[in-house]
């Protein structure tokens, strides 16, 4: 089964659904209809009893460049609403992956930046190509992590390392991501989908109900939970968008120069 959801490709191979971010002209940035398309594709996989596992990957050289800063900057500077400030589209997209009833494997084929990194973190398991790069790049644009990053990253790497990655916006390669347990495997680029499909098929051989229950049990072992973290992120990000530094960070990105932040 093949289907196109605007910016997302959907393919089913036996009991595995492959969802491919396909906005290659923007390095699969989360703009256009991408967010809604991810939600629709994940819903199709969830609703299909034949699907036991989902593999999420990117077309072209990038996994996901993060938020589409060109679109965001346009909305901010033109006074257009960013979205519902209680549960914006980014939250629905993140939750569609994180709360999927099926195991989700992120096959990270290239750069996963900002929100793109956090989209990968929302998956249950991550396998990386050696060409993968991960970065919490928000601060370099005068913004703070969203797409669940403030909840997901500390649960994986610990609070101290999470602070370091968030505060510096530093990029790490696939081997560093493996050392930090952000990914569980690093493979050659040509072997990425083979490794992801092999793992997916091994998972699919097991009973789906205990896997579904185990997924929820593991996710709920932290107090507070993802939804509370998303609410806090949204409130803080809306503040960032309204600052001079937030607009400067976006403007500098579009103008291909280093931002000059003034602290307001």
Strands (E), 136-240: 171-173, 185-187
Q: How far apart are CA 158 and CA 170, in angstroms?
A: 16
Superfamily of structural domain 2-190+208-254 = 2-enoyl-CoA Hydratase; Chain A, domain 1 (3.90.226.10)
Map out the domains of the chain as residue ranges. Answer: 2-190+208-254
SS3 annotation, 172-193: EEHHHHHHCCCCCEEECHHHHH
pLDDT at residue 106 in the model: 98
**26-57 burial, b if ≥16 CB within 10 A, otherwise e?**
bbbbbbeebbbbbbbbbebbbeeeebbbbbbb
Structure tokens given for 170 = 């530093």
Within 10 angstroms of residue 136's Cβ, the number of other Cβ atoms is 28
Q: How far apart are CA 53 and CA 32, in angstroms?
A: 27
Backbone torsions φ then ψ of 124, nearest 5 degrees: -75, -35
Chain segment 194-244, per-residue pLDDT in tens: 999 999 999 999 888 888 888 887 887 666 777 888 887 888 788 888 888
Structure tokens given for 134 = 């991960």
pLDDT at residue 1 in the model: 66
Residues of the chain with pLDDT under 50: 84, 86
Q: How far apart are CA 81 and CA 78, in angstroms?
A: 9
Q: What is the pTM of this model?
A: 0.86
pLDDT at residue 86 in the model: 43
């Amino acid at each position: 089964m093949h289907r196109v959801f605007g910016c997302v490709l959907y393919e089913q191979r036996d009991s595995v659904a492959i969802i491919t971010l396909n906005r290659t002209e923007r390095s699969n940035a989360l703009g256009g209809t991408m967010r809604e398309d991810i939600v629709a594709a994940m819903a199709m996989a969830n609703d299909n009893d034949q699907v036991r596992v989902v593999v999420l990957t990117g077309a072209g050289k990038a996994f996901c460049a993060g938020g589409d800063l060109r679109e965001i900057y346009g909305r901010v500077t033109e006074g257009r609403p960013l979205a519902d400030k209680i549960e914006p589209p980014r939250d629905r997209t993140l939750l569609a992956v994180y709360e999927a009833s099926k195991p989700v494997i992120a096959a990270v084929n290239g750069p996963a930046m900002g929100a793109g990194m956090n989209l990968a973190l929302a998956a249950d398991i991550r396998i990386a190509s050696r060409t993968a790069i991960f970065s919490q790049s928000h601060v370099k644009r005068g913004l703070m992590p969203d797409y669940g990053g403030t909840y997901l990253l500390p649960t994986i790497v610990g609070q101290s390392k999470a602070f370091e990655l968030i505060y510096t916006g530093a990029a790490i390669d696939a081997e560093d991501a493996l050392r930090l347990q952000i990914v569980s495997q690093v493979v050659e680029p040509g072997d990425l989908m083979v490794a992801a499909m092999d793992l997916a098929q091994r998972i699919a051989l097991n009973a789906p109900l205990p896997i579904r229950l185990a997924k929820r049990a593991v996710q709920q072992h932290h107090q507070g939970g993802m939804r509370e973290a998303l609410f806090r992120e949204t409130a803080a990000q809306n503040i960032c968008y309204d600052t001079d530094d937030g607009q400067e960070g976006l403007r500098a990105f579009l103008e291909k120069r280093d931002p000059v932040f003034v602290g307001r």
